[in-house]
Amino acid sequence: MRHTSFLSFMVALLTISCSGNSEATNETETTSDSLSLILEGDSTVYGLACDGCTDTILVFLPLNDVAADPDTFNILNATRNRHVFGRPEIGDNIAVVRNSKDSTVADYVINMKVLRNTWCYNIMPSLHMRADMEGRTEKQKIENLPDSIKEMLNTPREYSMQIKEDNVVRLRPINRESFKDHEAVDYPKVKHYGQWHIYNGKLLLTEVAMDTLGNMRVANTDTCELVLLEKDSLVLKFFTTDESNGTKESSIHSYYTKKTEE
């Protein structure tokens, strides 16, 4: 995948879709119907799951030609390789990555109806380092803290990542009113993803930021492998590059759904 060309595409896309919006908010949201187009180099096709799907066969009605007869994909290897994410049910919107050598074989199957959901996750604080803490062990640093600070170190902040149907990601804190910053602890910076896309079986999450003119711009695109996708669980493997030494690193992030009271 050519990251440079993809980022250039996304920059142009965001410039068009977000120009003229000068209000900065903590809840980043961008929209663009153009993201429904196939990105360069992406072999993903979209359709509906039909009657007859099993662990070895996917009966698939392409969305670009709903008048055509359904296609049948062999998903035996995808099932064995755990590349079927979200069990397809009749009528579900499905993304399929076809095998490059045999178009009747699916390498990846992703249930888009399951993926498009509100996924929650927690971030934990760390102790804010002061000059008088130098030379102490982690245990010593925590032992002398007031109980209120110890409690804060064990209290996560809960966020939600809403993966929406129009390729928009909306991030927001849950119980915003309980988020009170304290000089004794530090919370990791939360990335403000604005857009998402499936690219050859991987999930691309695009981070957006406001420039000095008040326009939204692409700051970074993270590539994620789907590890698990169920109706109540999502596990992603993120790949990042350490800018200091150029080494690639990976990390696992888990998400869960949460019923909200109306």
Mean pLDDT within 32-53: 75
Rounded average pLDDT over 45-56:
95
Which has the higher per-residue pLDDT, 116 or 153? 116
Residue at 176 is within a domain? yes
Tell which phi-psi region holds residue 167, choosing left (phi > 0), alpha (psi between -120 and 50) or beta: left
What's the domain range around 171?
Answer: 3-25+117-124+155-163+166-256
User: How many domains does the chain fold into?
Assistant: 2
Average pLDDT over residues 62-74: 89
Do residue 20 and residue 49 come from a single domain?
no
User: What pLDDT does 53 receive?
Assistant: 95
Is the same domain home to 202 and 174? yes
Tokens read off for 212 = 């000095």
Question: Is it the case that residue 1 has pLDDT exceeding 90?
Answer: no
What does the block give as tokens for 189?
Answer: 């910076």
Question: Does any domain span residue 148?
Answer: no
Task: Decide if 32 is inside a domain.
Answer: no
Range of weakest confidence among 26-30, 129-133, 247-251: 26-30
- Does pLDDT of 23 surpass 80? no
Q: Are residues 248 and 159 in the same domain?
A: yes
CATH number at residue 71: 2.40.50.140
The predicted structure's pLDDT at residue 32: 35
Is 195 in contact with 203 (CB distance < 8 Å)? no
Query: How crowded is the C-beta side of 110, counted as CA atoms within 13 Å?
Result: 23
The pLDDT tens digits of the residues spanning 211-234 come to 888 887 888 889 999 999 999 999
Please state, in angstroms and as integers, the Cα–Cα distance from residue 187 to each residue in 108, 137, 153, following that order: 36, 21, 10
